[in-house]
Amino acid sequence: MQKKLATVKELLLQDEHEKGRRGRRGIRRQDLVDAALEMLATEGEQNFSVRKLATVVGVDGMTILHHFKSREGLMRAVADAMVATLDIERPKGSWRDILLEVAKRYRGLAVKYPKAFSIVTRYQTSGPADFELGEIVYAALLDAGFNEEDAADYGMALFTLAIGFGVVEVGGMLNPCTPEEMAEIEALDPRLFPVTRRMAPVFALDETDHVFDILLDSFLDGIGRALAKQKR
């Protein structure tokens, strides 16, 4: 019988003693990550500091640096903690189903943590949860028929699309035009902007879901064409 591959959750449980060890003044590493994520999700990174986190959890800043070596080490751990909440089991199904599910989960993560999500964009890899997700995506692409180089390229393209869409969505670019913006469009010179003025009613609609579907379908269709061309 083939041995079942361990998930990140199982590996983390096996390593709980090490990861959850209590350091200086009895504070656990995971407690610091959880507190930092909560603060970042509430206040945003512009209002976050190691000193403020230390005050909240009741330790000094050096205790935090003892666990993470630097502020960026802490941010990387927070990014991985967010990715871990995606909670994607190694799925069954076609490569298209798997990639679509990963993209949808990333979009949901951005909506869940709008003030902190941009931290996820900062690192090529953030840690165990990120590696687990990469394993799912790259395995799906290899199983579909790509070689390692193409699987890496298309995998990174998927992460760029999904994470980038999340950043744009929570940033507000895809929001329907406000009444003020609509008034600005209506005030445009019709001789110079006839198309924009004609389309103004559409810009007042919430088309975010449709835009997401267009992007993902186009991207996945492109992968399908690349695979078909490769098999000729």
CA distance 59 to 206: 45
Residues 106 and 157 reside in one and the same domain: yes
Residues 112 and 71 reside in one and the same domain: no
* Predicted local confidence at residue 133, as pLDDT: 92
* Predicted local confidence at residue 91, as pLDDT: 65
The tokens describing 130, both together, are 């990120």
* Predicted local confidence at residue 54, as pLDDT: 93
* Predicted local confidence at residue 6, as pLDDT: 43
Q: Quick one: how many helices (H) and strands (E) in the chain?
A: 13, 0
Helical residues (DSSP H) of 172-207, grouped into ranges: 179-186, 194-198, 200-203
* Predicted local confidence at residue 135, as pLDDT: 93
Tell me whether residue 90 is in a domain. no
- Indicate which CATH number applies to the domain containing 25: 1.10.10.60
Residues 72 and 146 reside in one and the same domain: no
215: phi then psi, degrees, rounded to nearest 5: -60, -50
Report helix, strand or coil for 22. strand
Residues 127 and 203 reside in one and the same domain: yes
CA distance 177 to 185: 10
22: phi then psi, degrees, rounded to nearest 5: -90, 125
One-letter identity of residue 26: G
Residues in the chain with pLDDT values less than 70: 1-26, 91
- Indicate which CATH number applies to the domain containing 102: 1.10.357.10
Residues 106 and 221 reside in one and the same domain: yes
| Burial 90-111, CB ≥16 within 10 A → b, else e | eeeeebbebbbbbbebbbebbe
What is the per-residue pLDDT across 117-165, written as a single tens digit (0 to 9) for each?
999 999 989 999 999 999 999 999 999 999 999 999 999 999 999 999 9
The tokens describing 84, both together, are 């871990």
For 201, the domain range is: 95-231
Q: What phi-psi label fits residue 122: left (phi over 0), alpha (psi between -120 and 50 degrees) or beta?
A: alpha
Choose one of 84, 111, 136: the last residue of a domain. 84
186: Cβ–Cβ under 8 A, 6 or more apart, which residues? 197, 200
**pTM for the model:** 0.83
Total number of domains constituting the chain: 2
Residues 129 and 176 reside in one and the same domain: yes
28: phi then psi, degrees, rounded to nearest 5: -90, 150
The residue with tokens 């199904």 is 93
Strand partners, 22: 28
Closest to 138 measured CA to CA, from 122, 125, 120: 125
* Predicted local confidence at residue 180, as pLDDT: 97
